[in-house]
Amino acid sequence: MVSAPSHETLSPGLGNGATTTCTITGLTNGQAYQVTVVSVGRAASGYSAPSEAQSFTPQVPPGVPVNVKVTAGVKSLSVQWTAGAGGPAGGFTATATGGATPLTCTAAATASTCTFSGVTPGAYTVTVVAGGTQPGIKSAPSAPVQATVILAAAPTLPTSPTPATSTLMTASATSVKAGGTVTLGGTGFAPYTQVALAMYTGAVKFDSVVTDATGAFTTTVTIPSGTPAGAKTIIAGGLPPTGATVRYLKAAITVVAAPVTQVVAMQRAAEYQLTR
């Protein structure tokens, strides 16, 4: 039975003797109630004494957290979110799955961030749940966000000279037009470590890339449109599986100037039209 402070009594009905749960409807959110349970005897044997009363206040579940963003760092995950529309939140719990066991990070009702520290490097899926102000009430999980925790950040490649190495990485082309792309691949690095990429001479930097579980990477870079034609060397640098000495790979390419013949012809045609 459920009773409100006004002593109104509601009964959800009778079980079958083996039933241990029931759902009570028709309650008012925000209204305090007490719940007791009695056993109904067979025939005319009557009712048991009521159980100890349990107090609760039903409420609308808090809204699902939105705008979830995850920033992966060196053995860390930083999670940010916005509270969703719904009932009041009593706190938030972020969960990261992908390791040996799920990781959780709790935050207060007024918080919008939390950080996981000491995380094993690897790929993780993160969701956030808002807990209600009453036990057992919570939102559905937020939309999942994927992130990869890294073992080490990319090293800083020198501007000059070109790091010396005889170990090659793969390149999808050996001749690339300025403004064109080339796909690079390399192995022999530590798993889930950040690798720096640059083109020499001058150390034109590209975005870093993170290795997979085997210490390999594949990435596509764009040769800047203003790159002078000629022979270039692309260097990849990152930590090896053991030790702290940076491992370097290289790929030799030739940058070809972008064709201008068609552009000049179009410009001359436009000038001719203007002078007619």
pLDDT digits (tens, 9 = 90+) for 117-141: 999 999 999 999 999 988 889 999 9
Mean pLDDT estimate for the chain: 89
Closest alpha carbon to 172 in 180, 164, 161? 180
Residues 6+ apart with CB under 8 A from 134: 56, 57, 58, 59, 90
Residue 10 reports pLDDT greater than 80:
no
Confidence class for position 39, pLDDT limits 50, 70, 90: confident
CA distance linking residue 171 with residue 255, whole number of Å: 13
pTM: 0.74
Residue 219's pLDDT is 98
CA distance linking residue 193 with residue 150, whole number of Å: 5
In order of their start, the domains of the chain are 1-58 (no CATH), 63-149 (2.60.40.10), 151-276 (2.60.40.10)
Closest alpha carbon to 168 in 182, 154, 188, 195? 188
For tokens 């899926």, the residue is 125
- Strand residue runs (E) in 98-224: 103-107, 113-117, 122-132, 145-149, 170-171, 175-177, 181-186, 194-200, 204-210, 217-222
Q: Are 259 and 229 in contact (CB under 8 A)?
A: no
